[in-house]
Structure 1
Amino acid sequence: MSDGTIGPEGRVVTFIDLGTNSFRMLIVRLNPNHSYTILSRQKQQVRLGEGEFEAEEITLAAMERAVIVAKMFVDLARTFHTEEFVAVATSATREASNQNELLHRIRQEAGLDIRVISGREEARLIYLGVASAIHLAGRRIFCIDIGGGSTEIAIGDAQGYTHLDSFRIGAIRLANTYPSPDERGIVGPVQQKKIQQHVRNAIVHATAAIRSLKPECAIGGSGTIMNLAEIAGKAHHPASVTEPRSNGLTLKYKEVKKLIELLSPLTLEQRRRVPGINPERADIIIPGAIILEVFMKELGLLEISVTSRGLQDGLLVDYLSRMDNFPLMGELTPRQRSVLQLGRSCGINEIHARTVTNLVLEMFDSAKTKKLHDFSDAERELLEYAAFLHDIGSFISFTNHHAHSYYIIRNSELLGFNDREVNLIAMLARFHRKKSPRKKDTFVTDLDPRDQRALRLLSCFLRLGESLDRSHAALVQHVRFTAANKDTARLEIQARGECQLEIWGIENEKRAFEKAFGRNLVFSVMENPSS
């Protein structure tokens, strides 16, 4: 690794994962404000492990494909002015007797130095990539990634991993070990049972240890699991004309079993035409599904959440955690990191954002003590993030920036949130200015009743908070509700110096407050003695 110096224009780093089935590349610009911008993600099937695992040697044809794709990736990365490459190779390379020949050719012909990592190191990096995007909330998770040559698992929580393991079972390896006797590619019951028993034997000593750690939820990555989720999604919604999204989906154990039953009797050509399937995976999808099915059965997992996060994301997280320029990587939750990253990447006014956020949360907390609302910490957290991001739409244009804020938040990859939470954050930002949300608005009617009420009331706090820093000078330092009855809510504002713009702003919001809370808003301004 270089010294990590980031100039005024940022620094571009490229991460490359040479897997057994596919090569993946992530190109990232590290920004001077401690955020990063993803410039490109690329994936290319190479089948590096094809025909390898019996002879323990990468074939000449696979090596040629690897060199061509590695050179293509490097050339593309150079067009983004990459200053540093971080490249690792996994199962197929680490087990190959001709590993050095492959590494030498890629170094000579593509100009890329590759680090071959162990199975446990692969599991560690996968865990970093997955856990950095999940709201763990005190839960212990079981993470599984089914590759072409190996399967990695990890168990951990917000503090880090507690168990790592790697098994020499993968979709390509098992497809090579137990080839279909049927020339059409049908996978019969005998072949299925052989693969199942192979997987059970491979993991038998690990399952007891995994069960003893009592993970509370399971998360699966890798192309195999994602593609199974996409096939299951198409089965549930056959009329969908859009590509299914695997992120955020859940695969149930009974669905995995049904998919094996569905796909096994089909010929290879028939499998390639199954809705949702990646045709390039048709020959290895069944062994991959069986690996997942056995793990779920042996561990008693009724369902598993699906993520696109994996090794290359872990490489990025690991890289940033070692840099002095990114000290927040280890101090924030995935949600906090994701919100901060989005805000900084769009150049928000962070001082104003934090001022408004603090004022909004003071109002939320004091209003709750006066029984103006009964919302929980869950809604408080979403309000906090909406307040921080409320002006992010100015990145596009100040005109109608509240609408742009909604669009950016709704369509950004906010890690650690589910779709409902992202939508509510975006909606709160949407209504921080101009018209208040109305019951008949389509925006509102699409929400469930509790979220409709949350939007109406919490957007009031955000509108008041924005008004209280109308000058962007942080003149208002504290605000709280001091009393409330069935007719009136009293708001006390502590300011330093003259804050006439802020007072006018509050006056403009009194009607919206009365409509939302059914009370008149009465406020008083006090000079903060500490100012």
Structure 2
Amino acid sequence: MEKIAIIDLGSNSIRFVALQIADNGAYSFMYQEKEAIRLGHGLSETQMLSEKGMERAMTCLKVYKHMMDVGHIEHCIAVATAAVRNASNGDDFLKRINKETGITMNVITGEREAYLGYLGVINTINVRDFVLFDLGGASVELTLVRNGEIKKSVSVPIGAVTLTEKFNTSGDPDPDALEACQKYVGNQLEEVSFITDAGLPLIGIGGTARNFAKMDQRITGYDLSKIHNYILSYDNFENLFIEITTRTAVNRKKIPGLSSDRSDLIIAGALVIDTLFSLTRSQELIVSGCGLREGLFFEYYAAYANMEKPRFDDILEQSISNFLKALPNTNYQHIQQVERVAAMLFDQLQPLHGYGPKERRLLVTAARLHDVGKIINYYDHARHSAFIIGHAPIYGLTQMEQIDASFIAGFHHGISRKIMRSYRYAHMPSEEEWTMIRRLSTLLALAEASDLTYEQLVDNIEVAHAENVIVLILTVTPGATYNAADYEMKQLLSQFKKEFGASLLLVWK
């Protein structure tokens, strides 16, 4: 068992995460903590870290050190970003941290900060071409990514805290102050030529981006309370932008989803994002809950696991594998068999259902995770699996695709209105998606039934088509007894006919 702590000392917040790596290589979070310490407050005027900010940071760091001692965490990666990087007393503060806590904290460059944010995103969001920004308190890191690789990156010394102080946008800023701030931000960002007219999705890291996602979720009634990989359209952003910049400070705090500790910084941060939308001509903002800290971990994990590079070739496969390895008593033989049979059924019946690679990926995901609900309770575990899959740290799918996969798995013992009634997200899929979910869950149910005895007896599947009849020819291992599987699969014949409009005939050989 390996344990690691990561500390990110930013201009506005300090974050602490503790993770563990099991002997089988599975990694998982043990703890996380965040505090708004405003370390960069006053930096733009004095060029120094304030005593109050440093004291707030020290209070947190001493708590984190105690937690590491109690948790027997010996390895700590601690980094400081723009505030300490730009402050004239930054080095002295780092020495004080080491003297009083024993924590060795290193200042990282803006370029490295951008790279770590990229690692956090590229390993958790399945997008290959995008403009990435990491908006902090004292800087914004910009990165152009093409075909999954960094092409250019830069750190620009403007952030939510420094802009707020420079243009006094925290309270009820007058139009002149807003115009001056926006003009200043525009002049700074126009120098970054590689983002101009990129026409790519924006991916945003940082508290401002996350707050916009939360506000949009509350206003639109979005039920899934998950920020990572949430997609915010440009039109929705603009509506929120107008609300934020025209309300008084008192009324701004009443906007649903806006964090109280960020209401004074949100205007400056919003002006930066609005300018980025304008310059890049992007039509959507994908909000990432993963960034620098995750990038530091992936870098560490790559070295720990002897990976060639700190990137996963298939983030969906990696995240599913990691999640399963973190669970006890996983029956890998059964999972692999159900996945294999479900994929064969999908491929053989493709002319009937007409679905493509996207839907196949959802079915395979559901097949691999269909039994995870047993960790809660064996009885009704399909319903528990649906909930777990919907909320698990599975990367490589959109939020809606993850919900779809959760329902497919939830029906692996047959279509159940009970699950639909008990699962709060039942209204989220469209009618077309529900048709797909029911059909793919029927294939998964057949695959699960074929391995009822956990003997992996089905070797191959072939399909013959007759008029309104699908003949499923199942080849079993020599000497296998398939009576139980045959009985269980036949319980699904009426469901198959209802969903696919054809009768199913089973032939064993």
Q: So what's the TM-score if we normalise by structure 1? A: 0.87
8 Å contact kept, 1:20–1:48: yes
Tell whether 2:415 aligns with 1:436.
yes
**In structure 1, how many angstroms separate the alpha carbons of the residues matched to 2:165 and 2:53?**
15
Matches within 5 A, 1:116-155: 116-136=107-127, 139-155=128-144
8 Å contact kept, 1:494–1:525: yes
8 Å contact kept, 1:71–1:106: no
8 Å contact kept, 1:248–1:418: yes
Alpha-carbon offset, residue 324 of structure 1: 2.1
Q: Which moved more, 1:74-83 or 1:282-291?
A: 74-83
**In structure 2, how many angstroms separate the alpha carbons of the residues matched to 1:132 and 1:193?**
38
Q: What is aligned with 1:229?
A: 213
Matches within 5 A, 1:31-50: 31-50=22-41
Alpha-carbon offset, residue 331 of structure 1: 4.3
Alpha-carbon offset, residue 325 of structure 1: 6.2
1:509–1:301 distance in 2 versus 1, CA, 3 Å: closer
1:339–1:490 distance in 2 versus 1, CA, 3 Å: same
Tell whether 2:203 aligns with 1:219.
yes
**In structure 2, how many angstroms separate the alpha carbons of the residues matched to 1:35 and 1:302?**
37
CA deviation vs aligned residue, 1:344-397 (integer Å, no higher than 9, x gap): 2223222221121111111110112xx322112211110000011111112222
**In structure 2, how many angstroms separate the alpha carbons of the residues matched to 1:151 and 1:378?**
35
Quick one: which amino acid aligns to residue 171 of structure 2?
G
Q: What is aligned with 2:184?
A: 198
**In structure 1, how many angstroms separate the alpha carbons of the residues matched to 2:341 and 2:496?**
16
Q: Secondary structure at the match of 2:38?
A: coil
Q: What is aligned with 2:364?
A: 384
1:169–1:407 distance in 2 versus 1, CA, 3 Å: same
1:209–1:448 distance in 2 versus 1, CA, 3 Å: closer
Alpha-carbon offset, residue 253 of structure 1: 4.2
Q: What is aligned with 1:65?
A: 56
Match of 2:454 among 472, 487, 499: 472
Q: Secondary structure at the match of 1:87?
A: strand
Q: What is aligned with 1:210?
A: 195
Q: Secondary structure at the match of 1:44?
A: strand
Alpha-carbon offset, residue 439 of structure 1: 12
Alpha-carbon offset, residue 326 of structure 1: 6.6
Tell whether 2:391 aligns with 1:406.
no
**In structure 2, how many angstroms separate the alpha carbons of the residues matched to 1:361 and 1:124?**
37
1:383–1:295 distance in 2 versus 1, CA, 3 Å: same
Q: What is aligned with 1:529?
A: none
1:474–1:330 distance in 2 versus 1, CA, 3 Å: farther
Quick one: which amino acid aligns to residue 123 of structure 1?
A
Q: Secondary structure at the match of 1:224?
A: helix
Q: Which moved more, 1:386-395 or 1:435-444?
A: 435-444
Alpha-carbon offset, residue 510 of structure 1: 3.7
Quick one: which amino acid aligns to residue 217 of structure 1?
P
Alpha-carbon offset, residue 194 of structure 1: 1.9
Match of 1:489 among 465, 471, 482: 471
**In structure 2, how many angstroms separate the alpha carbons of the residues matched to 1:46 and 1:105?**
17
Quick one: which amino acid aligns to residue 284 of structure 1?
L
Q: Secondary structure at the match of 2:299?
A: helix
Tell whether 2:282 aligns with 1:291.
no
Tell whether 2:34 aligns with 1:55.
no
**In structure 1, how many angstroms separate the alpha carbons of the residues matched to 2:429 and 2:238?**
34
1:383–1:264 distance in 2 versus 1, CA, 3 Å: closer
Alpha-carbon offset, residue 273 of structure 1: 4.1
Q: RMSD value over aligned CA atoms?
A: 2.8
1:168–1:13 distance in 2 versus 1, CA, 3 Å: same
Match of 1:355 among 324, 332, 337: 337
Q: What is aligned with 1:6?
A: none
**In structure 2, how many angstroms separate the alpha carbons of the residues matched to 1:283 and 1:445?**
36
Q: What is aligned with 2:445?
A: 463
Alpha-carbon offset, residue 52 of structure 1: 1.6
Tell whether 2:147 aligns with 1:166.
no
1:485–1:445 distance in 2 versus 1, CA, 3 Å: farther
Q: What is aligned with 1:397?
A: 377
8 Å contact kept, 2:315–2:396: yes
Alpha-carbon offset, residue 140 of structure 1: 0.6
Matches within 5 A, 1:70-109: 70-109=61-100
Identity of paired residues, percent?
Answer: 27
1:93–1:465 distance in 2 versus 1, CA, 3 Å: same
**In structure 1, how many angstroms separate the alpha carbons of the residues matched to 2:310 and 2:470?**
44
1:477–1:329 distance in 2 versus 1, CA, 3 Å: farther
Q: Secondary structure at the match of 2:191?
A: helix
Matches within 5 A, 1:325-364: 330-347=311-328, 348-364=330-346
1:436–1:155 distance in 2 versus 1, CA, 3 Å: same
**In structure 1, how many angstroms separate the alpha carbons of the residues matched to 2:205 and 2:252?**
22
8 Å contact kept, 2:410–2:419: no
Quick one: which amino acid aligns to residue 419 of structure 1?
Q
1:507–1:328 distance in 2 versus 1, CA, 3 Å: farther
8 Å contact kept, 2:182–2:275: yes
CA deviation vs aligned residue, 1:118-139 (integer Å, no higher than 9, x gap): 0011011111112222122xx4
CA deviation vs aligned residue, 1:428-456 (integer Å, no higher than 9, x gap): 211212x4346996577764332232233
Q: What is aligned with 2:20?
A: 29
8 Å contact kept, 1:253–1:297: no
Quick one: which amino acid aligns to residue 505 of structure 1?
E
Paired residue total = 504
Q: Which residues of structure 2 form unaligned runs of 5+?
A: none
Quick one: which amino acid aligns to residue 291 of structure 1?
V
